[in-house]
């Protein structure tokens, strides 16, 4: 991680910890699964992929997360932590194919429908082959990865949301930064479950932070007669 990135990484981690300290125990907490898929492009691939060009052809991104929200329900901000597995691919003239996999520890800060996050992966795997695939990976010894991400959520129900997300992964190997970065643009879906008991009403308790009531298409709120 560069010196310019460290203050951003530290500030977000500090914000998450601050929210954890001040979180009201009356607020519900919840778990969630999140799945992402979309496009990716690996830049600055040398020397992580020896002999590869600096910018690879576009590939795809496939990510899965298991998260925990400490302060679920309709509050201004909430802190989240979780585990996330990310896989990105790239190619060279459809003749050679490259891929990266990394398991991340992540911390997120969500403000209503908007979230930002950072992550650290202590291990990284890579793949080079003459056909596309997500097999035959080998450990990239001495490598670790850093993640920055952000996204916008669209609540469909109190426990289910869709959204879009952008992310960048930076990998360092023995002091050398490459790729720089592996950039991603994805669509996502998030499913909440396991809401904890609290003193707030059930309608608020069993709801994601981004949900603000049932609505017609185009944002018109449904009202009881």
Q: What is the pLDDT of residues 110-136, one digit of tens each?
A: 998 999 999 999 999 999 999 988 888
189 close to 156: Cβ distance less than 8 angstroms: no
**Mind listing the pLDDT tens digit for each residue in 41-97?**
999 998 999 889 999 999 999 999 999 988 765 567 888 999 999 999 999 998 999
Residues ≥6 apart with Cβ < 8 Å to 80 = 16, 67, 68, 69, 70, 106, 107, 108, 109, 110, 115, 117
Distances (CA, A) of 185 to 38, 53, 58, 212: 6, 21, 11, 26
pLDDT > 90? residue 105:
yes
Instruction: Count the neighbouring beta carbons within 10 Å of the beta carbon of residue 2.
Output: 10
Q: Hey, what are 116's tokens?
A: 């930002």
In the chain, what are the domains? 5-23+34-213 (2.40.160.20)
The mean per-residue pLDDT over the stretch 183-195 comes to 94
pLDDT band for position 204 (50/70/90)? Answer: low
């Amino acid at each position: 991680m560069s010196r310019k990135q460290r203050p951003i990484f530290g500030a977000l981690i500090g914000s998450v910890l601050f929210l954890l300290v001040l979180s009201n125990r009356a607020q519900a907490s919840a778990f969630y699964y999140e799945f992402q898929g979309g496009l990716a492009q690996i830049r600055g691939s040398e020397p992580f992929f020896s002999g590869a060009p600096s910018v690879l052809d576009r590939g795809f991104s496939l990510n899965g997360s298991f998260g925990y929200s400490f302060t679920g329900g309709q509050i201004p901000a909430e802190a989240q932590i979780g585990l996330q597995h990310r896989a990105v691919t790239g190619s060279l003239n459809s003749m050679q194919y490259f891929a990266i996999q990394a398991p991340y520890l992540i911390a997120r800060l969500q403000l209503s429908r908007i979230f930002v996050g950072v992550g650290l992966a202590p291990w990284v795997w890579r793949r080079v082959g003459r056909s596309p695939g997500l097999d035959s990976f080998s450990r990239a010894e001495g490598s670790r990865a850093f993640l920055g991400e952000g996204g916008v959520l669209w609540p469909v129900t109190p426990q289910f949301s869709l959204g879009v997300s952008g992310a960048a992964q930076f990998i360092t190997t023995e002091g050398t930064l490459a790729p720089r970065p592996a950039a991603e643009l994805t669509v996502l879906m998030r499913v909440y479950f396991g809401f904890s008991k609290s003193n707030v009403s059930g309608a608020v308790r069993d709801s994601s932070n981004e949900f603000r009531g049932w609505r017609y298409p185009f944002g018109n709120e449904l009202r009881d007669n």
